[in-house]
Structure 1
Amino acid sequence: MTFHEMNPTIKFLTVTLLMFGLAFMYNPWTPLAVFIGTLILQILFSNVNWKRWGLFMIPFLFTALGTLWTTLVFGKEAGGEVMFTLFGKDLTVENVMLASTLSLRVLAFTALSLLFTLTTDPKRFVYSLMQQGKLSPKIAYSVFVGFRFFPILKRELMQLYETHALRGVPLESRLDYIRHVPSLIIPLLAGSIRQAERIAFSMEARGFTGEPRATYEVVAITRYDFLLASILIVLFGVSVWIGI
């Protein structure tokens, strides 16, 4: 059993619960333990592309460093033992602990978010929300249509670029492609409206009314879902104990 096979609704609720609890922890050791523990669990119970994981982590790593820097430099001065001086400002133990807590909390939130995002199929997640979360089919199938529109818009955009290139528009570099975007907005918007009308007529012709309906793909809840959820909760409990 891996996080990829875990019921998405159970996984979402568990990760959300951990994030909510982590927001009330005011020591750096708890978020650090959650971050490291989440990485270990992801190694043991998932099969993610770690290069992709690292690329997703880069902007949040800069965010954590920025949080650490701004809290240290512009944070409110606190009394206590002075650890060191930065740009003429005395930084106490409390200042450093607060800055470390906030920056490590960013990394812990990111690790938990990537655990959910990289191990969850969006289609299966929406099916699970309909079946276990009682999500309205109108909302669920609207999300499905939104997912379907992304590849459609990408294909139509490339077709427009190719059409304009055949008509003599110079598209030799990436900068030419970027400069040409404004002239493609209106035809791309018109094509999107036509696609939306076709999808609406197609769903109406197939009897879609928004009422609850039978589902071919059943996303069940198994004992392994609760086992993995329990492991995550135990990780959080151990992290809290470490921070005490």
Structure 2
Amino acid sequence: MLNGFHPLPKLALCLAWIVASLLVFRLSFQIALFVAASVLLLVDAHIPPRRLLALMVPFALFGFGFFTTSVLFRADTGFAFQMAREQGGAPDAAPGLVLFFRVLACGMVSAVFAATTDPGRFVRALMFHLRLPAPMGFALLQAMHMVPDLRAEMLQLRMARAIRLGRPLRRIASPAEIGALAIPALAYAIRRATRAALSFEARGMQPGATRTHLPQPPITGRDWTLLALGLGLLVAALSAVGAAGP
């Protein structure tokens, strides 16, 4: 369902949920948002549970300090108490615990957008609907394609080096191996950058030049319906939090 959702309304909906998470200092709301995003990743985006847990690790590490001080040591920081006072936090919830689940909730909502959106379609939608300058849009496309290509090139370089040295390929590259491959990887990046520059010249990427676009998928009634449904669920969750009181 979300894979066919137009990127721009989907972005607006995800940003609305993130802003709500940043404004509402309630543990129940953060947990509900975190669970909802996780279920969408499992059911709609078909993310395996192991990969979903791996996605949570960076966000969990970011908020782990708040979690340990609140749950293990029961001594919240002054920053957590200040956030709770400014945003009307509930007294029955540890402020650090709310901040921990806020990080997880915002991270999972952003993961929903990233996992269900084609990057090329998103950039083309920005260029077509929001008039993103063509040089900036094509630069973003080049960067998004170069990162996975550089990873594949590094793997090929490591395989060639392992064959030359007559030993099996290690699963994790050692610092010495990374240092030995730094120059070849840099040469590959320079070649890619040169080709990208030639491609820009061939496409006539002068600022302010009039350009044509291939037909892009419009924002349909289904997209507006999904946006309204998502915003309606957000309003219902906020109303439930407000009805529960401080």
CA contact (8 A) 1:136 1:212 kept: no
Report the Cα distance in structure 2 between the residues aligned to 1:13 and 1:133, rounded to whole angstroms.
13
The one-character-per-residue Cα deviations of 1:193-234 (angstroms, maximum 9, x if unpaired) are: 122112322332344435352233513111111111112211
TM-score, normalisation: structure 1: 0.79
Corresponding position of 1:70:
69
Q: Aligned to 1:219, which of 217, 220, 227?
A: 217
Q: What is the CA RMSD across the aligned residues, in angstroms?
A: 2.9
Corresponding position of 1:81:
none
Corresponding position of 1:126:
123
1:15 aligns with 2:14: yes
Q: Where does the alignment leave 5 or more consecutive residues of structure 2 unmatched?
A: 82-89
Distance 1:166 1:221, change over 3 A: same
CA contact (8 A) 2:76 2:95 kept: no
Report the Cα distance in structure 1 between the residues aligned to 2:35 and 2:159, rounded to whole angstroms.
48
Q: Where does the alignment leave 5 or more consecutive residues of structure 1 unmatched?
A: 79-92
Corresponding position of 2:98:
101
How much has 1:121 moved relative to structure 2? 0.7
Letter in 2 for 1:56: L
Report the Cα distance in structure 2 between the residues aligned to 1:175 and 1:97, rounded to whole angstroms.
40
Match of 1:180, SS? helix
How does 1:29-44 map onto structure 2 within 5 Å?
Answer: 29-39=28-38
**Larger Rg belongs to:** 1
Corresponding position of 1:85:
none
Match of 1:31, SS? helix
1:113 aligns with 2:110: yes
Of the two structures, which has the highest relative contact order with CA contacts closer than 8 Å and spacing of 6 or more? 1
The one-character-per-residue Cα deviations of 1:106-143 (angstroms, maximum 9, x if unpaired) are: 22212211221111111111111111221111111001
Percentage identity across aligned positions?
25
1:194 aligns with 2:179: no
Report the Cα distance in structure 2 between the residues aligned to 1:163 and 1:97, rounded to whole angstroms.
54
Q: Aligned to 1:242, which of 235, 240, 243?
A: 240
Match of 1:154, SS? helix
The aligned length equals: 228
CA contact (8 A) 2:66 2:76 kept: no
Q: Aligned to 2:170, which of 165, 169, 173?
A: 173
TM-score, normalisation: structure 2: 0.78
Distance 1:176 1:123, change over 3 A: closer
Stretch deviating more after TM superposition (7-16 or 48-57): 48-57
Letter in 2 for 1:23: L
The one-character-per-residue Cα deviations of 1:164-186 (angstroms, maximum 9, x if unpaired) are: 34543756534665421112112
Distance 1:174 1:119, change over 3 A: closer
Letter in 1 for 2:48: W
